[in-house]
A and B are shown apart, each in its own frame.
Chain A
Amino acid sequence: MSWHEHISDFIAAMEAEGIKATEPIAARLSSGELIRFHCEGDGKSRRNGWAILYLDERPNGAYGNYRLGLSRKWNSAGHRALTTAERDAMQREWAQAKEKRRLEREVAEREAARDAIEMWEAAGTASPDHGYVAAKSLDHYALRQLGDKLLVPMYDADGVLRNLQRISPDGTKRFLRGGRCDGLFCPIGNFTRRGERACIGEGYATMAAVNRATDHPCIVAFSAKNLPAVARIWWDARPDLDFVIVGDDDSHLDRNLGRDAAEAAAREIGARLWIPMREAA
């Protein structure tokens, strides 16, 4: 069985579980890296499908769909050892695909960063009547608005604007397509005193609420996954600050992703941890 057939088998197994990609994924699967893709039934611009496939001597992989809450492992039943020529060809193809994707990602990130700067400069101060600003009682002067989209700037460790989070009046949030997210953050408030307390958390509205209540300067990491990276950047830059990692309580999920990420970040930089608690009934 050739490795092309293994990929076909893998995709067939996914489809049998109801995970049907609406875009070509075979070439990306051969990279051996985790891929995300849009599936039948996913909302527009959502990429809930994920898969990873290792095409070694015993091809195996895993796939799933976040919307369906599905996660499956797969291995080839009729595997055989690859010939040396096949393995070399496969590795060459992987290496080329990987390099191509890296270049594509860099181009996409550069373009997104350019778009972010243009959009940020073209945007005006956010309206206090914007649905999200009003709903979350945000300080509209700190944000900008372009059309009906609220813009939240995303900076890198050098303070360069790299991406934007666009928030619709109904609260739907989108980053610029292809833009970088890892290690980007948005500061809220003034970092003026050495040793002062500073809070790092996931969402803009969450951290704006903390800043409003406490006057502590805050840092928005935009996602649970990005919390540790942002915490590291700030710890490196301002080790004098008394950091508190503010986690989201995702106890409604099978795994409390918000708490786990916050705890990991707090442990990593030796920060305090706070998870908001519901009022006892």
Chain B
Amino acid sequence: MTRMAYDADDMAREQGDEAIRRALSAAAFVDDDRAPFDEDADPSVKLTPTSFVWRDERTIPPRAWLYGKHLLRKFLSVDVAAGGIGKSSVKVVEALAMTTGRRLLHRDVPEGPLRVWLYNLEDPNEETERRLHAALNHYGLSPMDVGDRLYVDSGRDQPIMIADETPTGARIVRPTSDALIAALHDRQIDVLILDPFVSAHAVSENDNRAIDMVAKEFGRIAELCNCSINLVHHVRKANGTEATADSARGASSLIGAARSVVVYNRMTKEEGESAGIAPEQIGFHFRTANDKANLSPPEAAEWHRMNNYELANGDQVGVACPWSWPDAFAGVTTRKLMEVQKEVGAGEYRLDNRSSNWVGNIIATVLGMDPDDDKRRLGNIVKQWIKNDVLRVVEQEDKQRVSRKFVVVGNWVTE
């Protein structure tokens, strides 16, 4: 029989109006591929709201932070960075910090030496080995300090594919998940670092539901194995804007599932100038900040610098090192401030740094700085002294009777 078109009128004729009513009430949105609810009622399934009971807060177990306020036992955390910024080097140094229990970068290791599994899914093992040797030597550590607590693997030798796509949708690859759980249990791993996240699954990065499923699976593994899982993820093309947790590439459900997200940003040209860094050195600096500290207080940016280390085999390897923002007031004593106040009190100095009578010029003279090279630092000093009211801004007319902002002495400082 020739097959013909089939419409609602045909269906009403063949299956009755009730079939149409039933089918239409179940009409779904186009991309809604959830299975229809077709199970019989099960009275054994019950949900009961639990009445909250107040208890002595000292008996509530404290959060088990493993590394600063970033890695937490039983939780998932994410590091988000653009390619080539130095995140893999940071991860190597962090692995050493955690296995030795020392504060190598900006974070403490509250529980002391941890067992860390550093899993680079992109680079060959030799590359991680180079970074580890360079970092170990740079920080003056020895293999004895690390002990048997460090595990290192490469996805090239031993890939991890926690989820994949099938014709009916994304699924968790159960054997891989089970093997990971067994390995974490077996070695009693405290922290698993997977770098990068994209190589740990084969589902669409933009599919919120699939990525949520993968993130939840890692969360479940962390819970089961009483460890922290740290995923390293890439940002989408930022077009020069600063990266935030929202800049993470693909589905936002990954960031939603993570309890802590650290974002990496390169030092900008302006920041470099402000910090007095030579233009050719700016590219070696970057900062990290906890951008989703929903369990911890917000942290200020932590600065890093990539330093070069030459291995005994002649290879040049970058090592991530902590770097501090230069203090604008380094070397500025009370006596120097008093001297500045005396000079300012004796003359007429303007607030505008384009003026030849800019107050920064006299400060530079007193402090022995270069008014041009140290302009930003001088600007910061002026700003801070005005804020502290040791200098004050007043509006008055200049010699041409034009109203200008002048800087005068505020509260005189005494020793």
Contact = CB atoms under 8 A, between A and B. Distances in A.
Given A246-B8, A249-B7, A274 B23 contact: yes
Nearest to B32: A272
Contacts of A214: 17, 20-21, 24
B28 interface: yes
Contacts of B24: 197, 199, 210, 213-214, 216, 244, 246, 274
Interface of A: 136, 197, 199, 201-203, 205-210, 212-214, 216, 244, 246, 248-253, 258, 263, 266-267, 270-274, 276-279
B6 interface: yes
Closest 10 CB pairs of A and B: A213-B17, A213-B20, A274-B27, A272-B27, A276-B11, A209-B9, A252-B3, A209-B12, A249-B6, A206-B7
A263 B32 CA distance: 12
B9 A208 contact: yes
B6 to A, nearest CB: 4
Contacts of B3: 251-252
Given A199-B24, A267-B30, A274-B27, A252 B11 contact: no
A204 to B, nearest CB: 9
Interface in B1-37: 2-15, 17-18, 20-21, 23-24, 27-30
Contacts of B15: 279
Contacts of A207: 8
A258 B28 CA distance: 17
A216 B17 CA distance: 13
Contact of A213 (B2, B12, B28): B12
Interface residues of B, number: 24
A258 B10 CA distance: 14
Interface centre among B2, B18, B23 (most CB of A within 10 A): B23
A26 B10 CA distance: 43
Contacts of A212: 12, 17
B5 A252 contact: yes
Contacts of A244: 24, 27
Contacts of A210: 8, 20, 24
A202 B2 CA distance: 22
9 contacts: A206-B8, A209-B11, A209-B12, A209-B13, A210-B8, A214-B21, A216-B24, A263-B30, A271-B29
A276 B8 contact: yes
A199 B7 CA distance: 13
Contacts of A199: 24
Contacts of B18: 213
A210 B11 CA distance: 10
The B interface is mostly helix, strand or loop, or mixed, namely helix
Contacts of A278: 6, 11, 14
B22 to A, nearest CB: 10
Interface string B201-243: 0000000000000000000000000000000000000000000
Contacts of B5: 248-250, 252-253, 258
Contacts of B2: 252
A278 B4 CA distance: 11
Interface centre among B5, B8, B10, B11 (most CB of A within 10 A): B8
Given A212-B12, A276-B23, 19 more contacts: A202-B7, A203-B9, A208-B9, A209-B7, A209-B20, A210-B24, A212-B17, A213-B12, A213-B17, A213-B21, A246-B7, A246-B24, A249-B5, A249-B7, A263-B30, A273-B29, A276-B7, A276-B11, A279-B14
Contacts of B12: 209, 212-213
Given A213-B17, A213-B20, A136 B9 contact: yes
A202 B9 CA distance: 11
B29 A248 contact: no
Contact of A266 (B6, B9, B13, B29): B29
A252 B23 CA distance: 22
Contacts of B7: 201-203, 206, 209, 246, 248-249, 258, 276
Contacts of B20: 209-210, 213-214, 276
B21 A273 contact: no
A212 B24 CA distance: 13
B23 A201 contact: no
B35 to A, nearest CB: 16
A267 to B, nearest CB: 5
A203 B5 CA distance: 12
Nearest to A273: B30
A273 B13 CA distance: 21
Contacts of A246: 7-8, 24
Contacts of A136: 9
